[in-house]
Structure 1
Amino acid sequence: MSANSQKAAPRAAATKTPAAKPALAKAGPILLIEDTASLQLIYRSVLAAEGYEVHLAASAAEGHRLFASGNHRVVLLDLGLPDGDGLQVMTAMLERRPNTKVIVITAHGSINRAVEAMRAGAHEFLVKPFEDARFLSAVANAVARSQSRKTAGDAAAGFIGSSEVMGRIHDKIASVAGSMATVFITGESGTGKELAALAVHGASPRAKGPFIALNCGAIPHDLLESEVFGHMKGSFTGAISDRPGAATAADGGTLFLDEICEMAPALQTKLLRFLQTSSVLPVGATKPIKVDVRIVCATNRDPLDAVRRGQFREDLYYRLFVVPIHLPPLRERGEDVIEIAETMLARFAEEEGRRFDGLDPEVAELFLRHPWPGNVRQLLNVIRNVVVLNRGGSVTLDMLPETLTDLERTPSAPPVAAPGEPTLDSLMDRPLAEVERLVVMATIARHGGSIPKAARVLDLSPSTLYRKLEAWSRED
């Protein structure tokens, strides 16, 4: 149905276009923003005949609302809207979700507007009047292009939250996943660094290959080389058989090295050689093994500071720090804390056979102002505690763990030295090793014996403190 007016619609299809159908199951709804009711019906009928789900908006304001509340990856946008400029609508959408495919529709006398829209990031434009085949072809192409990004979105779904900062992280993961570039993830403990690594792997062409995670801070230094590169039978006491290391096990997939800054200097040298040659030399072997591995690493420390302190090789840092992804602490993610809490409340309740009705307003307010030193991991523990110890209903303040509510009720005050804690005067004229031990032990005592809390204060990983305590116990 071709029309002479500028508000012409596509001609009803004489024959269906089978090329559009394979992607329909995963296409998701298409957002159509068109102010003329008759054209809304015509566009939707043509699309519905091909199996597409269509959401309709008759104004810029309604289009913004539907786009913000939905997950539309393809948008059909008429540039001539009564309450706003179509280009501004498109720009706002692309700022919110840059991977959206926007097809702009314009009148014959407004070609310059279409060109301007393409320069501003539109996927394609249609000039009225247009044929149904051209219309469906443009939509099918946009859907196909959006599908190439969908895998990354699915893999990153472990990151619950709609904050702007998390949106940028999702987009960066989607952008880097298809490459071989090394990804370096930083962030405090509990922010989801391994989830981010899994998202990179899951969105990559290596998704069907292995994902091997290795915590460099949790393995004794004398065993770490064997864990990473493997060993041959008889290469050291206890090596009763050949054993492939993590790098070999990850062949064809991704090797995730967590707490990379805790790796011993000698092993850093071997890791650098591995990155340069893509070859693994197991302990006790004479012939290297070629492997195809993508490296993702993470740390809860500042890696550049570790370089300055001489704890991390500068050349290895620059080799690994190709695409940095910094995961923000939960306290900087705003309303995400409520979204995470309510999502996991429903999930845990289903697992435990309970029924909860969400968060009481006082609880939501507390969650928003709480500093969450343990980040998402701490929040999940709180929600799990609530679900296990309560029957259901709305989550109220009295259901929360006492440690959380007590902290909220206690006014903050600067710490003072407790009796027996070392003071600056008492540390003077002592060997540095002794000073370190006194400070570490006093910090652990101040935090009730909690190694993770003391580690955060001392800017160390918990595994480092455990190793120090073990070494000091052997000295005593």
Structure 2
Amino acid sequence: MQRWVVGGAASCNAEVIELTPADWQVASTLNADVVLVTVEANCERDLELIGRLAASGTGPVALAAGGSVNLAVDAMRRGAADFILQPSRAQTLFERLAERLESRPPAPAAAAASTGQETGAAEHDFIGEAPKMVALYRQIMRIAPSAAPAFITGESGTGKELCANAIHKYSGRAPDRFIAINCAAIPHDLMESELFGHVRGAFTGATEDRPGAMQLADGGTLFLDEICEMDLSLQAKLLRALQTGMVRRVGAASDERVHVRIVCATNRDPEEEMSAGRFRSDLFYRLHVLPVHLPPLRERGRDVMKLANAFLRRFSAEENRQFTGFSPEAERFLCSYDWPGNVRQLENLIRRIVVMHDGDTVNADMIPLALAHTGSETGRPLSAGVLQLVTQSSGDFHPSPIQAGAVHSIEPFWIQEKRIIEGALDKYDGHVGKAAAALGISASTIYRKKLGWDDNSAMSA
């Protein structure tokens, strides 16, 4: 393999400098166009080398004589700009290297300044090792090299744009642009111009020719977020563009050819949208070639804490705070919560905690009570076993028995439940964790119940 690289350098018109792993700091100072790192399976040293090079600002290319998707994912997550399985022919290797030499991506700042629309590679990679996430990583690596459209589904906040970024980043289109458009954020009457561009005089305010997202993403990837929000008339024009590879700017008399990979996403059910007549079935089948589904955070188990700790480290550094971890009670709450807003909600919560509090440990009392509200669980009664447990454990609390036939004396269950939980809290001096343990419920359940009491009190007033 080394002989291939040295002997074939002339085909790329390139100079080759051979370095050992110990020389990684030298590699970071050479301003090299390509740094090629040979990677062996299960070799942590090679992966650490990739991480060091990436941290120094050098985007290494990993070259493996053999390996698996897991090895590729590990290399990419450490910072590899590309991953190449050693081909059987030297020419194939040099074709891949030549692509990177000839099409270096623009600096992110310059690219953003030039268009005002571009979204660079994701600042943070996926975090998590839940089985569904491992399957997702493998799926991304499998579909990324394809030019076929990808259709991402998942609840709001699960990371659909991050997934689209990863598909682009690990594809052969990575040197070219990744353009993102949120179809729900742009008014319908402006969306056609945003997507296809316009010519001068096409409408009031069109003072100059302007390319659209399709032209800007030529050779790269166009990400259409919330695709189901697109107007039906524009859906027809998008379908034509996908079928012909030709687009027409608003006000133009002729078409222009573009070569774009489409990745789209929605948090809606496409089948329901088609049944309701809001989404064209022919467009759906044109786009739904490589489906990708992102799991909600509640299905990712201990990934919640991996994410929470990563966010805590990042925001503590940004806000100059000293937080280093979570108390057991806070951890139990985070792991038991349903996270209807998924990763985005968790991220925003951790940022809020870091900004609003000081200390080195995040405690349960730092978590806003409002977070404890989930509509499906508010007002859920405690079990008979819990009632018995709290009666035995709360000491001072003795609920009055309900007499048969005394209908006028029956209280709403939430009031009795409130008295039970408050009795346990009084017994343990307001310590939510201890009260929850005595009741045989989670601390998050107490938080949810307390918010439910406020709602019920407001309705009773």
TM-score exceeds 0.5: yes
Instruction: Provide closer, same or farther for how the CA distance between residues 364 and 278 of structure 1 changes in structure 2, counting only shifts above 3 A.
Output: same
Query: How many Å separate the matches in 1 of 2:212 and 2:378?
Result: 50
Partner SS, residue 356 of structure 1: coil
What are structure 2's unaligned runs of at least 5 residues?
6-17, 25-36, 50-61, 75-84, 98-120, 382-461
Query: How many Å separate the matches in 1 of 2:63 and 2:134?
Result: 14
Instruction: Provide closer, same or farther for how the CA distance between residues 240 and 194 of structure 1 changes in structure 2, counting only shifts above 3 A.
Output: same
Partner SS, residue 285 of structure 2: helix
User: 2:223 aligned to 244, 250, 256, which one?
Assistant: 256
Query: How many Å separate the matches in 1 of 2:302 and 2:154?
Result: 19
Matched, 1:166 2:133: yes
Instruction: Provide closer, same or farther for how the CA distance between residues 305 and 171 of structure 1 changes in structure 2, counting only shifts above 3 A.
Output: same
Aligned to 1:327: 294
For residue 244 of structure 1, report the CA deviation from its aligned partner: 1.2
Aligned to 1:217: 184
For residue 239 of structure 1, report the CA deviation from its aligned partner: 1.9
Tell me the amino acid that sits aligned with residue 31 of structure 1.
N
Query: How many Å separate the matches in 2 of 1:273 and 1:100?
Result: 36
Query: How many Å separate the matches in 1 of 2:40 and 2:362?
Result: 34
User: 2:282 aligned to 302, 315, 321, which one?
Assistant: 315
Tell me the amino acid that sits aligned with residue 270 of structure 1.
K
Report if aligned partners of 2:41, 2:71 keep a CA contact under 8 Å in 1: no
Instruction: Provide closer, same or farther for how the CA distance between residues 100 and 398 of structure 1 changes in structure 2, counting only shifts above 3 A.
Output: closer
Aligned to 1:336: 303
Aligned to 2:202: 235
For residue 98 of structure 1, report the CA deviation from its aligned partner: 7.9
Tell me the amino acid that sits aligned with residue 253 of structure 2.
T
User: 2:42 aligned to 6, 31, 52, which one?
Assistant: 31
Tell me the amino acid that sits aligned with residue 298 of structure 1.
A
Aligned to 2:346: 379
Instruction: Provide closer, same or farther for how the CA distance between residues 197 and 406 of structure 1 changes in structure 2, counting only shifts above 3 A.
Output: closer
The alignment's TM-score, normalised by the length of structure 1, stands at 0.57
Instruction: Provide closer, same or farther for how the CA distance between residues 75 and 156 of structure 1 changes in structure 2, counting only shifts above 3 A.
Output: farther
User: 1:299 aligned to 248, 262, 266, which one?
Assistant: 266
Tell me the amino acid that sits aligned with residue 248 of structure 2.
L
Percent sequence identity over aligned pairs: 48
Higher mean C-alpha deviation, range 180-189 or range 241-250:
241-250
Instruction: Provide closer, same or farther for how the CA distance between residues 373 and 407 of structure 1 changes in structure 2, counting only shifts above 3 A.
Output: closer
Tell me the amino acid that sits aligned with residue 333 of structure 1.
R
Query: How many Å separate the matches in 2 of 1:292 and 1:73?
Result: 28
Aligned to 2:241: 274
Query: How many Å separate the matches in 1 of 2:2 and 2:173?
Result: 33
Report if aligned partners of 1:385, 1:401 keep a CA contact under 8 Å in 2: no
Report if aligned partners of 2:222, 2:262 keep a CA contact under 8 Å in 1: yes
Query: How many Å separate the matches in 2 of 1:328 and 1:170?
Result: 12
Query: How many Å separate the matches in 1 of 2:350 and 2:149?
Result: 35
Matched, 1:186 2:153: yes
Report if aligned partners of 1:229, 1:248 keep a CA contact under 8 Å in 2: yes
- Structure 1 runs (4+) deviating above 3 angstroms are 16-32, 51-54, 72-76, 96-101, 154-157, 405-408, 410-414
Tell me how large the CA RMSD over aligned residues is.
3.8
Higher mean C-alpha deviation, range 322-331 or range 243-252:
243-252
Structure with the higher fraction of residues in strand conformation: 1
For residue 357 of structure 1, report the CA deviation from its aligned partner: 2.1
User: 2:316 aligned to 342, 349, 354, which one?
Assistant: 349
Report if aligned partners of 2:323, 2:361 keep a CA contact under 8 Å in 1: yes
Instruction: Provide closer, same or farther for how the CA distance between residues 157 and 179 of structure 1 changes in structure 2, counting only shifts above 3 A.
Output: farther
Tell me the amino acid that sits aligned with residue 251 of structure 2.
G
The alignment's TM-score, normalised by the length of structure 2, stands at 0.59
Partner SS, residue 31 of structure 1: coil
Query: How many Å separate the matches in 1 of 2:215 and 2:174?
Result: 17
